[in-house]
């Protein structure tokens, strides 16, 4: 079976039947179960590795996967017995790892290196692990993690974690069902037993996991991958959740892809017409470019200013629709000076293009039963901005903000109190996409993030409203009496 477009293993395939459900995919409706599947590469979430685990658990996995370019999300399939081949690959040397390391992890890294055409390994400075929410990893992921913890497997590199499916201390207040909470706590406990830090955020760079330019790291969470490569200038591939655990235990990763300077050169030049303003416009621009060039390294020209939060939103958008690991913004990001490849394509992007994506990602005109902000997790300055917009107003529907526990602890008591008395709830450790919102009774969810809009629909099976934060506050709050 030949897939003519990239596929998301997390939300593009039914885990029980293997049927492709990714909207607009050319092979939509066909099943990968039991077939030899040739595909360009995967896109979207790095938690897709657990999507492959689920397919294997339900007997709906492909018989073999042939990749046209290596990606560690798909290569993780080998850990559950699905053979993966990359066109044109050859055998790599075994990594030299000392200490008590599971044999299958060493073999897995060697296999990845072989498939990717890598000849050497590099010691990684830090690891960030996605696939923490029980919503996305299910029983297949829980059993895998508990099995490792049971065997006494430990990480040897500082490793942070992505959001879980609930606020670990306020899950009852969120309305998370007991049976979900029990499984979620087991997932986090298994990770902690392995020595992994339960930071539970997709913005590890705001909570101390802050690599420097040129440092080699191994990060999952596609939005964080784009951020660490593009804004911090460190080097990682878009690592599958399982591969990141392997690298944290072994301490090494094969050198290929984004670890090599020649692959970091711009391969698409995007001229932006009109000033991009606010995180929503940046996230829409990223989303559109990810759709047009799923595996490109885009160079944006014509952008005069881009805040850290706007770049975080841009990277999340591009990594949600495509698999963009690195982008450059002329005059702003640290490697913007790299010379474009000779065959770099050129396109221009206008505000009208962004409006079209915004309309496409909104699925309903009905009012929301929940407004959510914080994809990726909110920074301190974003929370202060929302606080300023809420002055003198009160939410007219449930209004939830998502951030890390560390960021939450840095907010002043007054800001928290004022937001809460305006009807705004601040939750840590989780987000609107990986919390089980549908099971909690929500049907229509509003957000300001293109990434969240995509996954709320495809993974959460919810109706979605997408608009900028200012408009959300304007429409779904009233003047406080
Ligand atoms: Fe983060 Fe959840 Fe969005 S993990 S990037 S807030 S989907």
Residue 443 CA, chain-centre distance (Å), reads: 23
Supply the pLDDT for residue 90. 78
Nearest alpha carbon, ligand 1 atom 4: 202
Q: Which helix (H) or strand (E) holds 160?
A: strand 159-161
Atom 1, ligand 1: which residue's CA is nearest?
376
Q: Tokens 């955020």 appear where?
A: 201
Can you give the pLDDT at residue 481?
77
Q: What is the DSSP string of 311-342?
A: HHHHHHHHHHHS-----EETTTSTTTTSPPPT
pLDDT in tens, 415-445: 999 999 999 999 999 999 999 999 999 999 9
Residue-level pLDDT at 98: 75
Pairwise CA distance, residues 408 & 442, whole Å = 25
Q: Which of 130, 228, 377 to mutate to test the pocket of ligand 1 (most atoms within 8 A of CB)?
A: 377
Whether the Cβ atoms of residue 135 and residue 177 lie closer than 8 Å to each other: no
Report the atom number in ligand 1 closest to the C-alpha of 402.
6
Q: Which of the 8 DSSP states describes residue 470?
A: H
Give dist(CA 141, CA 374) in Å, integer: 25
Secondary structure of residue 348 in the 3-state scheme: strand
Mutate to test the pocket of ligand 1, among 451, 454, 459 (most ligand atoms within 8 A of CB): 451
**Nearest-atom index, ligand 1, CA of 432:** 2
Q: What is the pLDDT of residue 407?
A: 98
Residue nearest to atom 3 of ligand 1 (CA): 375
Q: What is the number of the ligand 1 atom nearest to the C-alpha of 222?
A: 5
The helix or strand, by DSSP H or E, that contains position 402, with its residue range, turns out to be strand 399-403
Q: Which atom of ligand 1 is nearest to the CA of 433?
A: 7
CA of 16 to the centre of ligand 1 (A): 24
Give the pLDDT confidence score for residue 102 in this predicted structure: 86
Contact residues of ligand 1, CB 6 A cut-off: 162-163, 202, 223, 316, 374-377, 402, 431, 433-434, 451-452, 455
Residue 145, H or E segment: helix 134-150
Nearest ligand 1 atom, CA 163:
4
Angstrom CA distances, 221 to 24, 176, 357, stand at: 24, 23, 23
Low-confidence ranges of the chain (pLDDT < 70): none
Residue-wise over 62-81: b if at least 16 C-beta within 10 A, else e? Answer: beebbbebbbbbbbbbbbbe
Given this model, what pLDDT does residue 339 score?
97
Q: What is the pLDDT, as a whole number, of residue 256? A: 96
CA 87–ligand 1 middle distance (angstroms): 32
CB 323 within 8 A of CB 350: no
Cα 275 to middle of ligand 1, angstroms: 26
Please tell me the predicted confidence (pLDDT) of residue 469: 98
Do residues 370 and 437 make contact, with C-beta atoms less than 8 angstroms apart?
yes
Contact 76, 105 (CB under 8 A): no
Alpha-carbon torsion (366, 368, 374, 379), positive or negative: positive
Q: Using CA positions, which residue lies closest to atom 7 of ligand 1?
A: 433
pLDDT of residue 92: 81
Q: CA gyration radius for the chain?
A: 21
Q: 199's torsion region: left (phi>0), alpha (psi -120 to 50) or beta?
A: alpha
Q: What angle do CA 316, 32, 325 make, to 5 degrees?
A: 20
Q: What is the residue with the minimal CA distance to atom 2 of ligand 1?
A: 431
pLDDT of the residue at 93: 81
CA distance 228 to 100: 30
Tell me how far the alpha carbon of residue 203 lies from the centroid of ligand 1, in angstroms. Answer: 9
pLDDT of residue 47: 87
> Which of 199, 246, 247, 249 is closest to 224 using CA atoms?
199
């Amino acid at each position: 079976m030949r897939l003519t477009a990239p596929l998301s293993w997390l939300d593009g395939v039914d885990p029980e039947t293997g049927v492709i459900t990714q909207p607009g995919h050319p092979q939509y409706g066909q099943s990968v179960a039991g077939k030899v599947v040739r595909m360009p590469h995967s896109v979207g979430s790095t938690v897709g590795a657990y999507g492959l685990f689920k397919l294997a658990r339900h007997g709906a996995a492909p018989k073999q996967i042939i990749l046209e370019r290596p990606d560690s999300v798909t290569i993780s399939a080998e850990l559950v017995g699905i053979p993966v081949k990359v066109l044109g690959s050859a055998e790599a040397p075994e990594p030299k790892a000392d200490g008590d390391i599971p044999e299958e992890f060493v073999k897995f890294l060697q296999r990845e290196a072989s498939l990717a055409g890598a000849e050497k390994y590099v010691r990684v400075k830090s690891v960030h692990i996605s696939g923490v929410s029980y919503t996305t990893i299910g029983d297949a992921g829980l059993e895998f993690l508990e099995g490792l913890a049971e065997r006494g497997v430990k990480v040897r590199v500082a490793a942070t974690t992505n959001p879980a499916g609930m606020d670990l201390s306020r899950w009852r207040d969120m309305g998370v069902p007991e049976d979900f909470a029990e499984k979620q706590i087991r997932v986090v406990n298994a990770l902690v037993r392995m020595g992994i830090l339960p930071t539970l955020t997709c913005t590890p760079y705001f909570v101390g996991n802050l690599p420097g330019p040129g440092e080699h790291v191994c990060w999952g969470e596609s939005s964080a991958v784009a951020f660490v490569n593009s804004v911090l200038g460190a080097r990682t591939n878009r690592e599958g959740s399982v591969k990141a655990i392997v690298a944290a235990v072994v301490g090494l990763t094969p050198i290929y892809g984004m670890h090599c300077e020649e692959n970091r050169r711009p391969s698409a030049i995007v001229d932006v017409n009109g000033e991009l303003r606010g995180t929503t416009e940046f996230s829409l621009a990223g989303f559109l470019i990810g759709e047009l060039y799923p595996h490109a390294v885009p160079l944006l020209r014509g952008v005069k200013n881009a805040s850290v939060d706007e770049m975080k939103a841009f990277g999340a958008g591009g990594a949600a629709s495509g698999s963009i690991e690195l982008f450059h913004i002329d005059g702003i990001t640290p490697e913007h000076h790299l010379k474009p490849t000779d065959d770099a394509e050129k396109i221009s992007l206008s505000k009208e293009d962004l409006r079209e994506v915004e309309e496409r990602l909104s699925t309903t005109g009905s009012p929301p039963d929940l407004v959510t902000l914080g994809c990726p997790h909110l920074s301190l300055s974003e929370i202060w901005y929302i606080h300023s917009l809420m002055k003198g107003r009160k939410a007219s529907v449930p209004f939830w903000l998502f951030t890390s526990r560390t960021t939450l602890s840095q907010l002043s008591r007054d800001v928290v109190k004022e937001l809460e008395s305006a009807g705004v709830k601040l939750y840590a450790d989780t987000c609107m996409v990986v919390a089980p919102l549908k099971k909690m009774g929500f049907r229509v969810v509003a957000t300001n993030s293109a990434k969240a809009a995509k996954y709320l629909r495809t993974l959460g099976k919810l109706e979605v409203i997408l608009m900028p934060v200012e408009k959300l506050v304007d429409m779904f709050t009233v003047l406080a009496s």
